[in-house]
Structure 1
Amino acid sequence: MNEANLAIRYGAAAIGLVSEMPSGPGIVSEGLIAQVTTKVPPGVSSFLLTSKFDTLAIVAQQRRLGVNTIQICDRLQWGSHDDLRQALPGIAIVQAIHITSEAAIEEALAVAPSVSALILDSGNPLLPEKELGRTGRVHDWTISRRIRELVNVPVFLAGGLTPDNVKDAIQAVQPFGVDVCSGVRTNGKLDEDKLSEFFNQVYKSFKTQ
Structure 2
Amino acid sequence: MRTRIKICGIASREEAGTAISAGADALGFVSPMPGGTGTIPDATIAAIAADVPPPVATVLLTAETTAAAISDHVRRTRTTAVQIVTHIDPDEAARLAELEPAVRRIQVVHVEGPEALGLLAPYEPHVHAFLLDSGRPSLDATDLGGTGRTHDWTVSARIVAASARPVFLAGGLNARNVGEAIGSVRPFGVDLYSGVRTGTRLDRHKLADFVRAVGAGTNARERAA
TM-score (norm 2): 0.90
- Give the CA deviation at 1:139: 0.3
Q: Is the 8 A contact 1:19 1:49 kept in 2?
A: yes
How far off is 1:79 after superposition? 4.5
| Alignment partner of 1:65 out of 77, 80, 101 | 77
Q: Distance in 1 between matches of 2:68 and 2:181?
A: 36
Shift of 1:127: 3.0
Identity percentage over the alignment? Answer: 40
Choose the corresponding residue for 1:187, options 199, 202, 213: 199
Cα distance in 1 for partners of 2:64, 2:139 equals 16
Q: Higher mean Cα deviation, 182-191 or 137-146? A: 182-191
Which of 37, 50, 54 is equivalent to 2:49?
37
SS at match of 1:63: helix
Q: 1:3 to 1:21 in 2, by over 3 A?
A: same
Greater displacement, 108-117 / 21-30: 108-117
Q: After TM superposition, list the pairs within 5 Å mapping 1:26-105 onto structure 2.
A: 26-77=38-89, 79-105=91-117
Q: Give the corresponding residue for 2:5.
A: none
Distance in 1 of aligned mates of 2:90 and 2:76: 20
Structure 2: distance between partners of 1:111 and 1:77: 9
CA 1:85–1:20 in 2, change beyond 3 Å: closer, same or farther?
same
8 Å contact kept, 1:145–1:172: yes
The yes-or-no answer on 1:148 pairing with 2:148 is no
Q: CA deviation at 1:129?
A: 4.4
Following superposition, the deviation at residue 19 of structure 1 comes to 0.5
The count of residues paired between Structure 1 and Structure 2 equals 209
Scaled by the length of structure 1, the TM-score of the pair is 0.96
Equivalent pair of 2:29/2:45 in contact (CA under 8 Å): yes
Unmatched runs of 5 consecutive residues or more in structure 2 = 1-12
Unaligned runs of 5+ in 1: none
Cα displacement string for residues 16-60 of structure 1 (whole angstroms, at most 9, x for unaligned residues): 000011103110111100101100111000010001101110001
Structure 1 Cα separation of the partners of residues 59 and 121 of structure 2: 22
- Name the counterpart of 1:139: 151
Stretches of 4+ moved more than 3 A in 1? none
Q: Secondary structure at the match of 2:109?
A: strand
Farther-moved stretch of structure 1 (159-168 vs 78-87):
78-87
Q: Residue 172 of structure 1: which of 143, 164, 184 is its match?
A: 184
In the alignment, the residues of structure 1 paired with residue 127 and residue 27 of structure 2 have an alpha-carbon distance, to the nearest angstrom, of 19
Residue 113 of structure 1 and its aligned partner are, at CA, apart by 2.6
Matched, 1:22 2:34: yes
- Aligned alpha-carbon RMSD (Å): 1.3
Q: Is the 8 A contact 1:10 1:199 kept in 2?
A: yes
Which of 1 and 2 has higher RCO (CA within 8 Å, sep 6+)?
A: 2
Equivalent-residue separation in structure 2 for 1:56 and 1:24 (angstroms): 22
Which residue does the alignment assign to 1:106?
118
Query: Partner residue of 2:214?
Result: 202
